[in-house]
Amino acid sequence: MTFFVIDMDHNITAFANDQQVQANIPPSGYDAIFSSEKELAKQSAEWPITQFADIWNSFAGQVPFDALKPVKKFTDRKTAVNRIWKAVQALTPAAAPEAAPVAPKKAKATKDATPTARDGSKKAIVLEMLRRKEGATLAEIAKATDWQNHSIRGFISGGLGKKMGITVESFKSETGERTYRVAIN
């Protein structure tokens, strides 16, 4: 069951369960905690009608509510509660399956550390090929990895260039084939 919290600044947050709500109650306090339209109506019964517009306008136009337009006022309390309830459904967290405990993740490498690839992995194979003096053609990399050409180009640009910070140069070999190699500084 999803719980929604409207804090004193009119921000709405969704939580997957009651324990998460209790652990994350805003220090500034909250206006309402609800898990149904009926609960929202009950908790907002004493609010001035202008508060509904303030809450609505705090999220209208923001992701994931980009299609919603700000309002000046609501005609009545029931309409306001209904529209806010329908809108906050976009915040419902996806149900995550219960997973078995796993080992803690390794700390991310710092910028000073030299990026490496796991021995025997396709990344390591491609890096070894690209470190050769003559480099490697798309066809050679595709044969060694069973990757398609667009995947190889994406890996070179994103996996090596952006993530690992390795400069890879592209050139045409003597045979006219597109060839890649690690740039020598």
Q: Enumerate residues 6+ apart whose C-beta is below 8 A from 174.
A: none
Domain identity same for 82 and 11: yes
Domain identity same for 141 and 85: no
Contact of 5 with 26, CB cutoff 8 Å? yes
Domain identity same for 85 and 126: no
Residue 110 domain-assigned (yes or no) = no
Domain identity same for 81 and 17: yes
Residue 108 domain-assigned (yes or no) = no
Domain that holds residue 139: 122-182
Q: How far apart are CA 105 and CA 117, in angstroms?
A: 16
Instruction: Work out the average pLDDT over 80-91.
Output: 88
Q: Tell me the sheet residues that pair with 171.
A: 179
Domain identity same for 80 and 34: yes
Domain identity same for 72 and 32: yes
Helix, strand or coil for residue 175?
coil
The separation between CA 143 and the C-alpha centre of its own chain, rounded to angstroms, equals 33
Domain identity same for 77 and 149: no
Domain identity same for 85 and 138: no
- Amino acid at position 107, single letter: A
User: What is the tally of structural domains in the chain?
Assistant: 2
Digit-coded pLDDT (tens) for 136-149:
888 888 888 888 88
The percent helix, strand, coil of the chain (3-state, each to 5) is 40, 15, 50
Domain identity same for 13 and 87: yes
- pLDDT grade for 105, boundaries at 50, 70 and 90: low
Domain identity same for 132 and 74: no
Domain identity same for 18 and 63: yes
pTM exceeding 0.85: no
Contact of 168 with 183, CB cutoff 8 Å? yes
Closest C-alpha among 37, 43, 34, 44 to residue 12: 34
Average pLDDT, the chain: 81
Could you say which DSSP state residue 89 is in? G
